[in-house]
Structure formats: structure tokens, C-alpha cells
């Protein structure tokens, strides 16, 4: 497709994006959203070549550069060569429990904080926009009040949250043109997530215990990708909270709805007469090395105030996702 044709398709405002973490759930969907809108996207991850799901979507054919974000010189070289208008930084260490291991902490910090700082430094030199994906884990997860995106009473409960906060600070202290977007309970086609885990364990168990005292809202990366590109097309910089709409739920509520919809799609192995889902407290469940937030409620009202379209409900997102993964 010629550049002029691309400009016509995207309303004459075609931009060049550099996206990290395209081997993961969100990076995959951001690249596909860019292609859909006629923007230029260059994907990146650690692997020598694109290593995500081979689903034939646009990301599998778009330009790709192998880059280690913890290598400042490599980040400088790659970004100076690509010269993007915007960087969407999805790459992160996301294994929350593993991050607590003493021998992993330095590595987690070098990725989530150091890698983010490396990218922000080059974005400053290039005067390009940066989107940094973060998490409600920067807060203490207590109470029931939804977290405001501009709240500064940070108190991470674990190494993952602490290093993501350090990444946020690296961005906000280095740049003016940034979007720090906190998300929660993420799921997408390209990678592991809670829905896939539940569908797998539901096949092999007749009783499941799921925590009912951690409350939040899921985020479908397909829907999130659309909103992120909407944001970058503006200069409404700052902190945002994004999840799907549809109300706050517990992991137990989410599990019940996953199985209910799976049954609706003809998968009777998840029906209530074969599979019992029991609500338990975090304390009763035990097992996790890293502390988890009880309150992951995010206040998303700033999105509407700034003219952005909120995401569809999580129930609707779940329905589309189950079909997308072939249920």
C-alpha cells in the first residue's frame, strides 16, 4: 500500500509507532489495531523474530526488531533508527510470584524500571510520545474506594508493583508527552491468562476454589488496544485507568461467568451439575508468594472527561473472546 493511500485511509494523520512486547497479549493487539487504522507499526521483543501466536493477523507480517530493553545502547540504536512518533511500551516482567524470589528481584527491576527508563530517555531525545502500561499494584489494594488515576499515595505490596511504580516514575520524571495507563486482570488471545487457566482446570476437576475477596474488573487487550491508539492520536497526556466496563467483580464472580458462557456455547463440561465453584478468602486459598491487592477497583471517569470512549462491558468482552479462541 502506498504511503499516500495509507494517509487517505487514516485521515491524513498516519503515524509511526514502535511497540515493545509484541510477543505478549497486548503488544499483539496493539500492532493489529495500528494496521487496521493505516498507521505504521514496528514491533519488538526479546526473541530473534516474532514469537507470538501464528494467527495470520497483521502483526505476524509487520516489521519486527529484536531488542533487549535492559540494554540502553541497543534501545538507543534501535529507536534512533526507527524514529517513531510514539512508543507503546507493553514489555514487562509480569510473573508476580516469581518476582519475589531473591535471585529474580534485580532482573525484574532491570526490566520494569531500568528498561522503561532506557526507553523514556530516548523518547525524550526524539521528542516522541510514550505510552507506559502499568498496574493497580502500585497502590496498597486496601479499602473499597476505586483508585483515582492521579492518586499519588503509592504503596506497592510486592516486588512487581514496586518495580512497575519505579517504571512510572522514570516516565513521568523524564517526559512531558506521556500516557501512563494502569490496567487490571488482563486477557487476550496471545498468551496465558486467567480465563484460559480456568477453562483448563475446569476440564479436569469437579470442584474449584476461587478467591472472592479480591475485587476488580477484567481488561480485554483487543478493546484496550483501540483505546490506546485513540489516546496517542491526541495530546491529552497524563495518568489513566482503563478496564472494561460492566461493574466490579471478584475472581469467583468472573469464574462463574466464564463457565456460564462456556455452557451457553455448548460446552456442558463446565455446567454446574458437573463442576462446583466454591468461593474462598485469600487467606483460605493460601498458595501465593506475592501479596495480592484486595481492592483493584479503578476509577475510569477521567476517560470520559477527556473525550475518550470507554471499553465495552467485560461480559461482552468475555463472550467475544471465548469465540475468538474457538470455544
Catalytic residues: 160
Residues 261 and 320 sit within 8 Å (Cβ to Cβ): no
Report the interhelical angle of 116-126 vs 72-82 (nearest 10°): 40
Tell me if 30 sits within 8 A of 228, measured CB to CB: yes
User: Which residues have CB under 8 Å from 43's CB, separation 6+?
Assistant: 19, 22, 27, 31, 50, 59, 62, 63, 64, 65
Torsions phi, psi for 44 (to 5 deg): -150, 150
**Closest to 168 (Cα-Cα) out of 224, 120, 102, 201:** 120
- Angle between helix axes 251-264 and 194-204 (nearest 10 degrees) is 70
CA 319, distance to chain mean position in Å, is 19
**In 3D, which of 261, 237, 223 has the Cα closest to residue 149?**
237
Nearest alpha-carbon partner for 292 in 257, 250, 258: 250
Q: What sign has the CA pseudo-torsion 94, 178, 156, 250?
A: negative
Cβ(85)–Cβ(129) under 8 Å?
Answer: yes
Amino acid at each position: 500500500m502506498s504511503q499516500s493511500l495509507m494517509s487517505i485511509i487514516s485521515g491524513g494523520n498516519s503515524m509511526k509507532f514502535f511497540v515493545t512486547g509484541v510477543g505478549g497479549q497486548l503488544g499483539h493487539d496493539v500492532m493489529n489495531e495500528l494496521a487496521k487504522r493505516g498507521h505504521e507499526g514496528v514491533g519488538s521483543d526479546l526473541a530473534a523474530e516474532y514469537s507470538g501466536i501464528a494467527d495470520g493477523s497483521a502483526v505476524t507480517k509487520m516489521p519486527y526488531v529484536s531488542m533487549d530493553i535492559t540494554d540502553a545502547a541497543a534501545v538507543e540504536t534501535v529507536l534512533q533508527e526507527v524514529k517513531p512518533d510514539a512508543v507503546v511500551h507493553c514489555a514487562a516482567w509480569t510473573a508476580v510470584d516469581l518476582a519475589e524470589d531473591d535471585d529474580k528481584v534485580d532482573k525484574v527491576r532491570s526490566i520494569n524500571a531500568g528498561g522503561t527508563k532506557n526507553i523514556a530517555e530516548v523518547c525524550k531525545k526524539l521528542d516522541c510520545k510514550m505510552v507506559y502500561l502499568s498496574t493497580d499494584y502500585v497502590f496498597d489494594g486496601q479499602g473499597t474506594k476505586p483508585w483515582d488515576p492521579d492518586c499519588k499515595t503509592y504503596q506497592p505490596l510486592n516486588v512487581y508493583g514496586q518495580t512497575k511504580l519505579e517504571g512510572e516514575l522514570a516516565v513521568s520524571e523524564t517526559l512531558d508527552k506521556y500516557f501512563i495507563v494502569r490496567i487490571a486482570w488482563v486477557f487476550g488471545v496471545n498468551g496465558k491468562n486467567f480465563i484460559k487457566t480456568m477453562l483448563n482446570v475446569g476440564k479436569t476437576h469437579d470442584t474449584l476454589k476461587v478467591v472472592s475477596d479480591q475485587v476488580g474488573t477484567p481488561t480485554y487487550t483487543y478493546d484496550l488496544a483501540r483505546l490506546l491508539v485513540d489516546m496517542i492520536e491526541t495530546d491529552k497526556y497524563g495518568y489513566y485507568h482503563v478496564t472494561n466496563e460492566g461493574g466490579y467483580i471478584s475472581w469467583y464472580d468472573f469464574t462463574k461467568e466464564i463457565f456460564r458462557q462456556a455452557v451457553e456455547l455448548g460446552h456442558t463440561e463446565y455446567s454446574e451439575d458437573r463442576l462446583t465453584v466454591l468461593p474462598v478468602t485469600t487467606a483460605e486459598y493460601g498458595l501465593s508468594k506475592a501479596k495480592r491487592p484486595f481492592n483493584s477497583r479503578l476509577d475510569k471517569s477521567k476517560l470520559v472527561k477527556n473525550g475518550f470512549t470507554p471499553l465495552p462491558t467485560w461480559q461482552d468482552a468475555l463472550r467475544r473472546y471465548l469465540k475468538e479462541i474457538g470455544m
